[in-house]
Amino acid sequence: MKKFALLALTAMMAVSMSAQSGKQLYKKYFDNEGMETVHISGFLLRTAGRAATVDLDGKDFSKFARSLKGLYIITAQTPDTRAALGADIRKIIRKGDLESLMESSSDGQKMMMYINGNDDDVTELAIVTLDEETVTLVSLEGRMSRSEIERWAEEEQM
């Protein structure tokens, strides 16, 4: 029984640590020259989700906003910071912490969407955009419906 409890605790710690890649990178790059960073707390996101309808392209995202624990945005604008952020993102993806949801490319700009979670819930939705001048990571953390996120991704590709 002790082995099972230890195994369960270890698994929970691994899931919670891997689901925080956006938060970890935010902390790493906060206030670095050549980087722009933004953090919006879960409290503020939940409050906004309760206060009004969050309308994006005619869709109500207020329920989605209430499920978030944090939003992290990191934008690298110099060659050195773009290389560093890009390398860190690739390292997280290679480690298997994020699963590819979709990729698109248009006029020199690339956009990739990744998720972390299980069959039902997503604990992190990471959106990476790349172009000649910037690398941007937008990381949404919380407990989100996997099927709903996959449906949104499919709609965006059409």
Q: What is the pLDDT of residues 34-92, one digit of tens each?
A: 999 999 998 888 777 666 665 556 666 666 777 788 999 999 999 999 999 999 998 98
pLDDT-derived band of residue 6, with 50, 70 and 90 as boundaries?
Answer: very low
Report field, pTM of the whole predicted structure over 0.85: no
Nearest Cα to Cα of residue 142 among 62, 46, 73:
46
pLDDT-derived band of residue 1, with 50, 70 and 90 as boundaries?
Answer: very low
User: What is the C-alpha separation between 149 and 138, in angstroms, rounded?
Assistant: 15
Residues 67, 143 contacting (CB under 8 angstroms): yes
